[in-house]
Amino acid sequence: MTIHAGEPRNPTIEPPRGGVLHVVDAARYSAAGSRRLFRETAARLELAAGIGIALAYLWTGAALWHWVVSAFLLALVLAAEALNTAIEVLCDRVSPEWSQAAKDAKDLGSLAVALLLMATGGFVLLVLFGLI
């Protein structure tokens, strides 16, 4: 068994717990995923852009629904970034050598993020220019 960077030395699989402990475990896994996501430069830049958007909205007096839609879109961007990162991690693990299939998977994940960034940016520009 090969140990890769970031993997525990003695990995164990914990059986799922039931009831409220399942919710606690799920929250812990989500927090670990969030910590992993924000090791990615792209995710940190997207969060910084979200802060910049919030400042611009404060400056321009954007309506509440603009804030809500923008927060939803930012959440979608970060969700896509998390899935893209998961795809990249899995591709690198399963296919450490170059392969067209791994490249295609990574490129498609990147496209998903780019499309959401364009939709978010378009919405924000429409708000900032007073078109909606």
Q: Is 81 a catalytic residue?
A: yes
Residue 29 assigned to a binding site: yes
Residue 88 assigned to a binding site: yes
Residue 57 assigned to a binding site: no
Residue 44 assigned to a binding site: yes
Q: What is the CA radius of gyration of the chain?
A: 19
Residue 81 assigned to a binding site: yes
Are the C-beta atoms of 117 and 70 separated by less than 8 Å? no
Residues in the annotated binding site for substrate: 42-46, 81, 110
Active-site residue set: 81
Residues in the annotated binding site: 29, 40, 42-46, 81, 88, 106-107, 110
Residues in the annotated binding site for ATP: 29, 40, 88, 106-107
